[in-house]
Amino acid sequence: MKLDSMYQEVILDHYKHPHGRGLRDGDAEVHHVNPTCGDEITLRVKYDGTRIEDVSYEGQGCSISQASASVLNDLLVGKDLADAQRIQETFLELMQSKGRIEPDDAMEEVLEDAVAFAGVSKYPARVKCALLSWMAWKDATAQALDAGADAERKTA
Amino acid sequence: MTQLPGLLDTEAIRKDFPILDRLVHDDRKLVYLDNAATSQKPRQVLDALSEYYERYNANVHRGVHVLAEEATALYEGARDKVAEFINAPSRNEVIFTKNASESLNLVANMLGWADEPYRVDSETEIVITEMEHHSNIVPWQLLAQRTGAKLKWFGLTDDGRLDLSNIEEVITEKTKIVSFVLVSNILGTVNPVEAIVRRAQEVGALVCIDASQAAPHMPVDVQALQADFVAFTGHKMCGPTGIGVLWGRQELLEDLPPFLGGGEMIETVSMHSSTYAPAPHKFEAGTPPVAQAVGLGAAIDYLQSIGMDKILAHEHALTEYAVQRLAEVPDLRIIGPTTAEDRGAAISFTLGDIHPHDVGQVLDEQGIAVRVGHHCARPVCLRYGIPATTRASFYLYSTPAEIDALIEGLEHVRNFFG
């Protein structure tokens, strides 16, 4: 059944048992919503220099949006910012592919569990769900880095 | 097959709607339960649209050639049909807009620019309800922000009805306009018009009724409603998109200022100033949606050939059956009235903690089209502490078998996420 291409086992696992859920200390916090369906996420990032120390989140939404946040936490925590950005961009490219990208080994190496979302990209209405936490992370990171830069300017 | 009293001959009716024969996802029969979002269109409406473009297309109210005169007669003929459909005292009280949102925005802007005694300003109050569609919230928020008027609203009871217990504190001498929905698009509730209108009239406030979910499904008589404005849209009642209606009382339409300026709405124009055409043209700037108005006229003919009373009875029977079948589904909670009494045929529900997006997706895979989300009525979701709902909504071609398909589909959803 086609539905299984969207609801991969790994997605349902992350949905039922989310990783890193709950709000913890962070350098910046953002709240993003998907107005078409009411998915919401509050997400915090904590940086140690350019290393991502933590991504914590709380939210409500469909299995796709919630599983995606869990996978994001798995993938990005502990990574250097440049690597994390590469992962985010690769995920974005996959999600915007309208089902035309069949993830290869190289992509799978970058995205790990997140390749399971390839099937979601065939459903335009659900792409936003999958991207919600990733856009929130990008926004929070920009805010955290801005704040960091401001602090540096003040101490300089 | 389930037989219910009051049902229409759906077998015959469905033959008029070509789309209902469509297969989706390769081989699934379409079960279209998203009628509160938009209705499907019968062949009679599709034919009227193509016939208009094939034979009569011209701009209206200008030109002396044959096509211009015929197109004008068709457009104005559609206005006559709408006037008769809603029992308007005069055809000049029927303004064509592009949808109900535009109709409601038009009322808000008439009042925002009006002189006394209609003027909404910082000394006055606007009243709406917590169950409004965003299209009957945001125009009033904008008006309140721009004029300094205070925006107030009726809250909801736990069973999905308006809480009118404090009606005298909500509607006061300061109230200039009360705008509320006749049938809620998310809860399905049919609101008690008379009680609200009576209080509004006591304090001299105008009344605007959003009939978007009423006009397609039941007889709507603007004189019986005793409102000052009634708004609805064509595409939910078998008409095309791009055509809406605002009915307003003649004396108000004469007094209130235009909102959009342009061609068609003027009497004379000089470089310094202009005078305006009488209503309804005063409120129809620019080339109107001519073909769409003709399509709406054909939709009204179609609905009246079946009978609005019969459509109401059909949907009531379906709603009774649906609430009873939905009650059998474990973990299902109806958001809104749980009986068919004073209730329209849009039924929202939650299913355990399975997100409506996921419910809708798995139903879609089985060919069942429902709406998921907050249905442009987010305050209702906040009120009941839920992120969103799944909504099934019926129309004159819906059948008990489709409700059975929905119930089976929900069982499948529960197994999938169980």
Q: Which domains does chain A have, with CATH numbers?
A: 1-155 (3.90.1010.10)
B155, B161, B227: which is closest to B197 by C-alpha? Answer: B227
Beta carbons within 10 angstroms of residue A2's beta carbon: 11
Hey, of B26, B27, B357, which one would you mutate to test binding to chain A, going by the most A CBs within 10 A of its CB?
B357
Phi, psi for residue A85 in degrees, rounded to 5: -65, -35
Our CA-based measurement puts residue B411 at a distance from the nearest CA of chain A, in whole angstroms, of 16
* Whether the predicted pLDDT of B67 surpasses 70: yes
Task: Decide if A7 and B388 are in contact by the 8 Å CB cutoff.
Answer: no
Which pLDDT score, from 0 to 100, does residue B306 have? 98
**Closest partner CB to B373 (pick from A3, A7, A37):** A37
Q: How many CB pairs under 8 A join A and B?
A: 47
Contacts with A131 from chain B: Cβ below 8 Å: none
DSSP B26-94: TTEEPEE-BTTT-----HHHHHHHHHIIIII---SSS--SHHHHHHHHHHHHHHHHHHHHTT-S-GGGE
CA dihedral B186, B189, B195, B199 (to 10 degrees): -10
Hey, of B358, B362, B368, which one would you mutate to test binding to chain A, going by the most A CBs within 10 A of its CB?
B358
pLDDT digits (tens, 9 = 90+) for B241-289: 999 999 999 999 999 999 999 998 999 999 999 999 999 999 999 999 9
**Closest partner CB to A60 (pick from B374, B387, B416):** B387
**Closest partner CB to A38 (pick from B358, B387, B416):** B387
- Does residue B370 belong to the interface with chain A, where contact is any CB pair within 8 Å? no
- Is residue B376 flagged as an active site residue? yes
Which pLDDT score, from 0 to 100, does residue A150 have? 77
Amino acid at B375: H
Beta carbons within 10 angstroms of residue B319's beta carbon: 24
Task: Decide if A36 and B373 are in contact by the 8 Å CB cutoff.
Answer: yes
* Whether the predicted pLDDT of A154 surpasses 70: no
Contacts with A39 from chain B: Cβ below 8 Å: 357, 387
Please give the angle made by the CA atoms of B290, B294 and B300, to the nearest 5 degrees.
Answer: 145
pLDDT digits (tens, 9 = 90+) for B22-59: 999 989 999 999 999 999 999 999 999 999 999 999 99
**What pTM was estimated for this model as a whole?**
0.93
- Mean pLDDT (chain A) is 92
pLDDT digits (tens, 9 = 90+) for B326-378: 999 999 999 999 999 999 999 999 999 999 999 999 999 999 999 999 889 99
Contacts with B374 from chain A: Cβ below 8 Å: 37-38
The answer to whether the CB of A121 falls within 8 A of the CB of A97 is yes
**Closest partner CB to A38 (pick from B362, B365, B381):** B381
